[in-house]
Chain A
Amino acid sequence: MAFITAVSTWLIPCFLLIVLSVATWKKIPAYELFVEGGKEGVKMAFSLLPFLVGMIVSISILRSSGAIDAMINLIAPVLMAIGVPPEIIPLAFVRPISGTAALGITTELISTHGPDSFIGRLASTMQGSMDTTLYILTVYFGAVGINKMKYALKVGLLADLVGIITSILIVRMVFG
Chain B
Amino acid sequence: MVNLIWAFMAIVGIVYAMFNGTMDEVNKALFKSANDAVTLSIGLISILVFWLGIMKIAETAGILKALSKALMPIVSRLFPEIPKGHPAMGYILSNITANIFGLGNAATPMGLKAMEQMKQLSGTDTASRSMITFLALNTSGLTLIPTTVIAIRMQYHSVSPTEIVGTTIITTVISLISAILLDRLFYYQSVRRKK
Contact = CB atoms under 8 A, between A and B. Distances in A.
Contacts of B17: 61, 64-67
Interface string B134-148: 011011111101101
A56 B37 contact: yes
Contacts of A63: 13, 29
A124 B168 contact: yes
B125 A8 contact: no
Contacts of A124: 146, 149, 152-153, 164, 168
Given A56-B33, A64-B22, A22 B63 contact: yes
Interface in B31-60: 32-34, 36-38, 40-42, 44-45, 47-58, 60
A120 B156 CA distance: 10
Residues of A in contact with B, size category: 35 or more
Contacts of B171: 125-126, 129-130, 163, 166-167, 170
**Chain A, interface SS category:** helix
A8 to B, nearest CB: 4
A120 B150 CA distance: 12
B41 A162 contact: no
Contacts of B175: 129-130, 159-160, 162-163, 166
Q: Choose among A54, A139, A155 the residue with the greatest number of B CB atoms under 10 Å from its CB.
A: A155
Contacts, number: 360
Nearest to A37: B56
B41 to A, nearest CB: 4
B74 interface: no
A67 B47 CA distance: 34
B49 A149 contact: no
Interface string A119-151: 011001111111111101101110111111111
A52 interface: yes
B30 A170 contact: no
A4 B170 contact: yes
Interface of B: 1-2, 5-7, 9-10, 12-14, 16-17, 20, 22, 25-26, 28-30, 32-34, 36-38, 40-42, 44-45, 47-58, 60-63, 105, 108, 111-112, 115-116, 119, 125-127, 131-132, 135-136, 138-143, 145-146, 148-149, 152-153, 156-172, 174-176, 178-179, 182-183, 186-187, 189-190
Considering the complex of A and B, which 4 residue pairs feature the smallest CB-CB distances, nearest first?
A: A37-B56, A128-B146, A115-B158, A41-B48
Given A101-B6, A130-B141, 15 more contacts: A8-B160, A9-B163, A22-B62, A34-B57, A45-B48, A61-B10, A101-B5, A124-B164, A124-B168, A145-B125, A151-B132, A156-B139, A159-B140, A159-B176, A175-B167
